[in-house]
Structures are given as C-alpha cells and as structure tokens.
Structure 1
C-alpha cells in the first residue's frame, strides 16, 4: 500500500503546528506550564500544535482513528486498522529550556505497524519523513531534499552514541562507563533517532519507558533509512495498543552488529 496522501497531509500539518509552536517559543514572557497527572509538563504550545494537527487529520481522514498525547484516549481506536499516532510537541522540557531540541511527531499505524512517519524540527525548519517502502528523507529549511541512509560503522571504539538530555538512567550510565564512548551526544526528543537515520549517529538506547507517540514516527524514519529498531528484549514495537506505554524500552542501531546490550 502507498501512504502518499497521508504523508503529504501529515507533513503540512506538522509544519503548520511548528509555526504555532515557534510563535509561543519566541514570546518574551515566560511560558506558563501546567502539569499532567504523570507530572509531565503541558504548555500552550502543546495545545496549539495538537489543535492544528488533529483538525487536519480528521478533516483529511475522518475514518481513521487518532491517538494523541494531548487528546482524551478513545479506546474505539482499537477496532481500527488505521490509527494516527501524534505527539504535538515532543520534548516539552527542551522547549522550556529553549534549546531548540523539540519536534512535532505524526505517524500512521496500520495493523499495529508504523508505516508512515513525519518529524518536524520547528527551531531549525528541518522536516524528516518516511513511508513504508518509500524511503526516508530530510527537507532542510532552504528546501533541499536528501534521501537518508544510516552509516555502516561497526568499530565499537568510534561509534557515535546519542542519549537522552532530560531522562538519564542507571543502565545507560553503566553502558557509557563500560565502553567509554568517545563520541557521545546528549539530545532531546526524537531528534536522536533522526540523527541515526541521516548518518550523524550510530546507536541510541532508551531503557526508560516512553509512549507510543514518542517512537512511532521515529521508528518509521529510522527503519526506512536502514536502521534496526527493536524493544530492549529484541521484540518488535507495535502501535495502537490498549496500553500505550512502551514499558520495555527500545534501541536503534545503524547495524545489527553494533548491538551492545
């Protein structure tokens, strides 16, 4: 199946949502923060981006289900083969730090598999996107488009590693200590997976739990660029599940030979 109509709609919605995010990002006054039940931050930028994306997706594909971080979950989505998985602002903590490391994520799951992914980086104007069997691409702020392909690095000593900027964990610290990575970058949001897709990093391990909307778009882009994406126990990550928590963690590696856990 082709997913071009869904992809074009998601790309346009992500860019439009990103513009709304940046309007709030550039405001001189401090951003007001609310906290959800899980203590994760919520801002006007999250809400504005969500409104734009949900409107575009429901107008374009009214028969598809939608799972969004900022929407009340409607479990009737479980009866649907097609479900958009949305994180209107991935990296809200980075947004509040004003470091530019936040993204807008839109994915499409078909029969529990991520078949389309869009990640927009509002602060940079870069757009990453992919669809199953179509490949992965990056469109820069100046309009240049390039196809993405992971690196072929297999030398452990020179592996380029990305890790979370705001979610440290003991297991990752132990891995860093064990291998003494010379090329380690800590970064926020789904940008870490995008770096692997475009041959700027080789491995990313996430031991901490995440949510479906954190990984769906990133997985499709990384896999279409040639990366290996699995849960920490080696099983396939699925989407549009009853429980949206990615409890097992996950890893992305440029090549299977570089799996260190």
Structure 2
C-alpha cells in the first residue's frame, strides 16, 4: 500500500518508476540506445498512469508521454509528471543525470493554483528528493565561501545563448548536466548554486523539481522574475531560474541585460 499523504505518495511513485527504469537498463543494456530510451519513456509512463488511476482516480494527469486532456484545466487537482526526464542520458551507459518527476498541482480558490507536492527521483544516484519533508536549505560550498566562482548548472546540449555573458558578468562557472530534474536537484543539495534555462521546456520539465526547490527555501521564478504558473492551456513553460536566495537579484539583473 502506498502512503496516503500526497507528498509521501509522490515520493513513492517516483521511487517505483525509478526502480523500473534501473531494471530496464539491466534488462535491455545499451546496445540499442534508441530502443532503450523509447522503452523507458513508455514503461515508466504506463506504471505512473496505472498507479495514479488506482490510488488517485479522481485526479487529472498531465504527462509528457500522454495525451493532453483539456479537462485538466477545470480540475481541482492535477498530477504533472515526466516519466523519464533526461531521456538522452538514460540511454548512455554510466550517466546518472536523469530523473523521474512527479508533482501535484492544486487549485486554490480563484487563484492560479499552487504546486502542493513534488518528488524528483534520481534512480542512478540512489535517491529521491521530496517536498515533504522538505530538504534543508543548501549550505554554501567552502569554495564559494572562500571567494571562488558560483556554479551555474546548464544544459549539455542547448544552453541559453545568453548564459555565457551572464556567467562572465557574475563570475560564475558553468556546469553542464542532463535532466532538468538533476540540475535543480543539484541546486537543492548544494552541488551547484543556480540553474538557468531559457527556451524549450514544458510544465512537466520543471513542476516537480520546482516544488522540491521551493519547499527547501530556494528562489524559483521565470528568468524575468515573474512566477512560474502551472496548469495553463499551453503547457509550454520555456524558461526558469532556480538559485540560492542571495543570488537571485544579481542573476535576474544579469539575465535581463543579456537575454
């Protein structure tokens, strides 16, 4: 039986899907990366949809791998899931920067709603980060505390065109990583200090990791400083900034000058 409480249930779901994906890597190997990736997307999606249908049958679901049902726009509760975030890295032997995203959005009166719970499974790293209980606010690394450069996670394959100029202005080191979930998890754990992305993401790419980061007390916003809003008719949510609170003003200012 899974936990009843939504935050613990999200963690349970992410762990179930993560265990499946690790077993799938062992089963299929890496000789056919495209086949492995396709199987990972489908089997993780099928597992999550089955468990949500069994244990949360009244809730709506928005999944990267599913058909977008417009009925979600009037739902009071919506699970936003990415069954396999970082599909490219999942298909590469030895890479651990891929994730499973499970988030719950809840309507709050007449407002735009809130992310009520979230979990980011990092199966190859043997951990799941959840919003409940929240992760502790990350400690400042000794290197940064000693005056070293802050570390900004960025996409391995499509970094924002403006990010090099931002990094130069604030004196940052860029750290390429795979999955958006892995990048935001690295901010939560203090392995990096910020994650900036511009272009090419959707609600399922950020909902779960943003829920986890916000619960830990980190800054989360669009790159213009406006709020990240979920369960919109257009599921595109192309940019975001997740960082330590003390860095937010300088990073938003630098992005505004170069983006």
TM-score (norm 1): 0.83
Match of 1:142 in 2: none
Greater helix content: 2
Segments of structure 1 that go 5 or more residues without pairing to the other structure are 35-40, 138-147
Tell me the CA shift for residue 198 of structure 1: 1.8
Greater strand content: 1
Match of 2:242 in 1: 252
* Regions of 4+ moved over 6 Å: 153-156
Which of the residues 62, 75, 85 maps onto 1:67?
62
Segments of structure 2 that go 5 or more residues without pairing to the other structure are 108-112
How many residues matched?
238
Is 1:33 aligned to 2:29, yes or no? no
Tell me the CA shift for residue 217 of structure 1: 0.7
Tell me the CA shift for residue 255 of structure 1: 1.2
Which of the residues 105, 109, 127 maps onto 2:105?
109
Which of the residues 45, 48, 52 maps onto 1:50?
45
Tell me the CA shift for residue 177 of structure 1: 3.7
Q: Distance in 1 between matches of 2:4 and 2:178?
A: 29
Match of 2:137 in 1: 149
Is 1:210 aligned to 2:205, yes or no? no
CA contact (8 A) 1:7 1:117 kept: yes
TM-score (norm 2): 0.84
Is 1:185 aligned to 2:186, yes or no? no
SS in 1 for 2:91: helix
CA contact (8 A) 1:152 1:255 kept: no
CA contact (8 A) 1:9 1:56 kept: no
Tell me the CA shift for residue 256 of structure 1: 4.3
CA RMSD of aligned residues (A): 2.3
Q: Distance in 2 between matches of 1:29 and 1:150?
A: 35
